[in-house]
A and B are shown apart, each in its own frame.
Chain A
């Protein structure tokens, strides 16, 4: 017994020795709290038993033996006694079962292995299928093989016979095997500055996580919301977006989802708690994606697009922000407003006292937390102004480029022993390979002339109809394509095509097409395959597929049209 009360689990599972059980039964007659706890434990126990068919059969057999073979009675007496029936006079208060998420998936064993082999076989079939097709008119044999590479990359990233980073690593292998690149060419893109910019942003995310700064900021936003659900969702979305601008967005969402679970815990009714949880989790995922629109390092597709743009014109960190930030400021409130209208939530206010207690428990901000914040602010300053300061002060070229500033920030945190190599070993390195592979695919398509061939196919869509129609169509198509295709692959294929189109037709500005299409890859909201954030939500089981699809399609549609109109307006007034 603990503090005079009984331990429900021990009582229900028959762990208590006879004298303690007798005392427990006596205690139960007087203690309503323990009666409720026993009933809750019994409900859980019953649920477990009913779920376990094999267990039920064994239990049935045991009863048969017990009833039929009385000669075994002495031995049976040594078996644990069945749980006692509750006294009939007990009046049990109704108790709510907690909301259950993060349930393990059913192990699939050999079937799973066969499925993986089948999926990899499908990737190979699609690749060989493209190779066996007659070479399209206007495409070189190398370009034809690059198309097979595109089929391989697209299908392996969609079907995922292996995890995405390993799938990305097979792209250079396929390039060399298909004869569209040599090994140095295939791996060259993995060492581009933009890849290291993203890598450094992963390390910064780890510093935030390690020292609990993300959680502290989330708790502070809850306290600041005053308990109103609308403000609370806005606060959580704001933190997710703000951090995702500078550090990897899936990492940000992963750290904030458990905080959303803690907030939802306050609501005892599982149905009502689930409504709030769905709203919070979708808000975190969408805003982490939206925050990523703002900077080059915000998402892998931004990094890939910037990598290509930097090859045709001066393209600094601030050039991306000039378009990404206004697009974000436009879309963020629309997304928040739409989510509040689409996702039904039965509660209007929450008690912020638990969050306030958690903040108090954390104490004042530690030295590492303060230094991380300061480092991020200083780094953001140099990311934005580096391209102006560097020539003005006569500093060595690219010293204040985005990647160098990010690496310097990480180095500073390491020197100050705020992060160590042991910490960063655990980050999701996979994105490093994804960006390298995306750039590598784009380079191969460009080198073999496949990009020009694609551009020829797209010319009627881009130059035929009025700009508004073509822009809306491209943005809308991309925003849905990104649900089934990896964002990086979409950017790797489309960006070189638009650059090729612009080089062939002086009336087309590459940036005018590249920016909206790349930013549209943010709107992968409808399927788990759309982005790391959506895959994470699907894995938690918080949002079911149908809900994800329903809310995602509506918000994607509205966001795509808004983004298309925004860039059209910029083009009309000559700002792009």
Chain B
């Protein structure tokens, strides 16, 4: 089973740590950051696809990853877009839009404490 984890920040790192317990899973990560949290923590060596996932790039990313399941772990704090008012709402709406238009099943992962 191929699982695509969108976001390798704090939330993504937690998800990746759990998924790595099952060696039968093929886990791919996508994140736009130079060195996201999951890489800094040594959970993964590098992200598989460097990309900011938006409705514009989603198809491109899914084509490359061919996932059976997508886990959305895009916490606002991990997106690195600054603190503009309403940015939380924008990222929330973006997650919902991605989940709505993705061909593969998508599960949103809520961020938990570090």
Contact = CB atoms under 8 A, between A and B. Distances in A.
Interface of A: 2, 7-9, 13, 37, 40-41, 44, 47-48, 51-52, 97-105, 107, 163-165, 209, 212, 215, 250-251, 253-259, 261-262, 264-265, 273, 358, 361, 426, 428, 430-431, 528, 532-533, 535-536, 538-540
Contact of B54 (A37, A215, A250, A261): A261
Contact of B87 (A97, A104, A426, A536): A536
Given A102-B52, A254-B87, 11 more contacts: A2-B66, A102-B32, A104-B52, A164-B85, A215-B96, A254-B92, A358-B101, A536-B86, A536-B87, A539-B82, A539-B87
A535 B87 CA distance: 9
A358 B82 contact: no
B80 to A, nearest CB: 3
Contacts of B64: 7-9, 37, 40-41, 44
B93 A255 contact: yes
Contacts of B32: 102-104
Interface of B: 2, 28, 32-34, 48-52, 54-60, 63-66, 79-90, 92-94, 96-98, 100-101
A9 B65 contact: yes
A322 B63 CA distance: 53
A528 B65 CA distance: 36
The 4 A-B residue pairs whose C-beta atoms are closest, nearest first, are: A104-B80, A258-B97, A254-B89, A535-B84
Interface centre among B34, B55, B90 (most CB of A within 10 A): B90
A361 B101 CA distance: 10
A44 B93 CA distance: 27
B81 A539 contact: yes
A435 to B, nearest CB: 13
Contacts, number: 146
A44 B50 contact: yes
A107 B80 contact: yes
B100 to A, nearest CB: 7
Contact of B86 (A251, A273, A361): A251
Nearest to A258: B97
A258 B94 contact: yes
A102 B81 contact: yes
A37 B66 CA distance: 11
Given A8-B63, A212-B96, A261 B56 contact: yes
Contacts of B54: 100-102, 258, 261
B73 to A, nearest CB: 15
A253 B52 contact: no
Contacts of B92: 209, 254, 426
Contacts of A533: 86
Nearest to B74: A102
A532 B97 contact: no
B61 to A, nearest CB: 9
Contacts of B97: 215, 258-259, 261-262
A273 B56 contact: yes
A453 to B, nearest CB: 32
Contacts of A163: 83, 85
A160 to B, nearest CB: 8
B101 to A, nearest CB: 6
Contact of A532 (B51, B56, B84, B93): B84
A96 to B, nearest CB: 9
A165 to B, nearest CB: 8
Given A9-B28, A9-B65, A536 B57 contact: no
Nearest to A362: B100
A257 B49 contact: no
B93 A258 contact: yes
A426 B66 CA distance: 33
Interface centre among A7, A37, A256, A426 (most CB of B within 10 A): A7
B94 A536 contact: no
A111 to B, nearest CB: 15
Contact of B79 (A8, A47, A102, A426): A102
B86 A250 contact: yes
A102 B54 CA distance: 8
Contacts of B48: 9, 13
A87 B19 CA distance: 36
A536 B84 contact: yes
A97 B50 CA distance: 13
Nearest to A6: B66
A536 B98 CA distance: 19
5 contacts: A44-B64, A98-B59, A105-B80, A535-B86, A539-B82
A163 B49 CA distance: 32
Contacts of B94: 102, 257-258, 261
Nearest to B87: A539
Given A104-B79, A212-B96, A251 B60 contact: no
Contact of B90 (A52, A104, A262, A536): A536
A536 B91 CA distance: 11
A391 B2 CA distance: 66
B60 A98 contact: yes
B81 A540 contact: yes
A528 B82 CA distance: 12
Contacts of B66: 2, 7, 9
Contacts of A98: 56-57, 59-60
Contacts of B49: 9, 44
A261 B56 CA distance: 6
Contacts of B85: 163-165, 250, 428, 430-431, 532, 535-536
A211 to B, nearest CB: 11
A40 B60 contact: yes
